[in-house]
Structure formats: C-alpha cells, structure tokens
Amino acid sequence: MVLGEMIYEIETMNEEMIYRSFFITNQDEEPQRDMELIVNRENLTPVLSRKWFEISEGEIILETRYSKDKAEVILISPYGKKEASLKVTEPIYDMEQIFFLPNLKNTGNFQNWQFSVLVPASGMTWLGRISKIDEDEKSVKLKCTLAGEILYLKYEKSFPYRLLSLEAPNRGYDLILKEEIPNK
C-alpha cells in the first residue's frame, strides 16, 4: 500500500548544500514541509536544520543551529517558544542528515563507519553505525543502527549514488525511489 510521496530538493551553493524535503499523503494534495537542512560541503557538518510537525493544535517548528562546540535548539509550538543550548563535540551530525551521509561521504566505496548523531527533539546524542551487508553490480545495501532502531539503506553504486530504498522495519514503512518501484 502506498502511503504517500516524499520529495527531496538539493541545492548546491558555494560552501554549503541545502536539502529540503516535502511529503504528500494520499489525503493531502499540497506538499507539506518536512525538513530543511544546511550542511557544510567540505566536511559535511551541519549548519542548520529545521523540522516541521503538524499537530491538531497547529504547527511545531524545531530549529537547530550548529556552531563549533554547541547546538542551539529553538522550538516554536502553539504553546510558546523554548530555547536550549546543548554542548556537542565535533564531529556530530544532525538526525535528518543520516540518509545523505553515506553517498556524500565517499566515492562509491561504502565503508563501515560510526559517527555521533544529535536528535534535536530529545536533545540526546547517539552513536550511529553503518555497515555494508550486501551488494550487487548496481547497488549496495547498508545497515544503519541508531538509538536501538535499524534502517536498511540501498544506494546506487555509481555517481550520483542515489538512495534507492530505505527500509524501516521498526517503523513499518519503506521509502522507495519512484522510478525503482516495479510496475504492477
């Protein structure tokens, strides 16, 4: 069953890359904002991340501004504004960034890797791990674990190393690149 569509936009600037994602559910026709992420092109460290959540009372915006040794988290909800400053040690990545990391990180050689990830919503830092579990001529399948959850990520082996599918068995959904969905 198709639940909806995710749309990703990637904009390259001089020193930064901007990622924007939107989603369309079966019920809603207008794409809704999901997140916006600005990362440094050179070292892939996050500069800013924004996430939008819809609740019955309105909208929640979670914004995180990264600097060298801290992350400023600003939460705007119908109940008011909250700010928190979290100490971080470099290198740290944003929660929203992890799907883009393996393909940006290398040149087709998807290596086993572990890294720190900040989950702005809880203010907690977790250790993410990525390991290669399978590959064929065209694609490579990685297993990503974060905060007790497992994700399976499948990437193209050749440039631009697109994410072909994301399986989230603990959440009960898969994200599949539209042109990869087999015709019925």
Partner 1 sequence: MNRYLAPIITIILVNILFYLIFFRKKPISFQNWMKLFLFPFLLVIVIPYHHVERILLNIWAGFLPVLSINTFLVLIELILLSVSMYFLIKITPKRGVELFPYFLLIGLGLGCGRFFRNVILVWYHPLNSFFGYGQFSNFITGFYIVQEVLQLLIVIVCSGYMGLGFIRFMKGQFSKGIMSIIFSFLMLEIDALVRVLFQYVPFFAFFSAVYVISILPLLFILGGLFLWMSYRRQEKKELEIKKENSKLVSGSSGS
Give contact residues for partner 1 (rule: CB under 8 A). 53, 55, 60, 62, 73, 75, 77, 79-80, 82-84, 119, 121-124, 126-127, 145-150, 169-173
Q: Which residues pair with 63 in a beta bridge?
A: 50, 74
Q: Which is nearer to partner 1, 75 or 164 (CB)?
A: 75
CB of 75 vs partner 1, minimal distance in Å: 5
Residue 93: closest CA among 71, 109, 70, 116: 116
Residue 83: closest CA among 63, 57, 59: 63
Q: Which is nearer to partner 1, 40 or 122 (CB)?
A: 122
Residue 93 CB neighbour total at 10 angstroms: 20
Q: Are 85 and 72 in contact (CB under 8 A)?
A: yes
CB of 77 vs partner 1, minimal distance in Å: 6
Q: Which is nearer to partner 1, 2 or 55 (CB)?
A: 55
Q: Which is nearer to partner 1, 32 or 145 (CB)?
A: 145
CB of 6 vs partner 1, minimal distance in Å: 16
CB of 154 vs partner 1, minimal distance in Å: 18
Q: What's the burial of 60, exposed, middle or buried (CB within 10 Å: 0-12/13-18/19+)?
A: middle
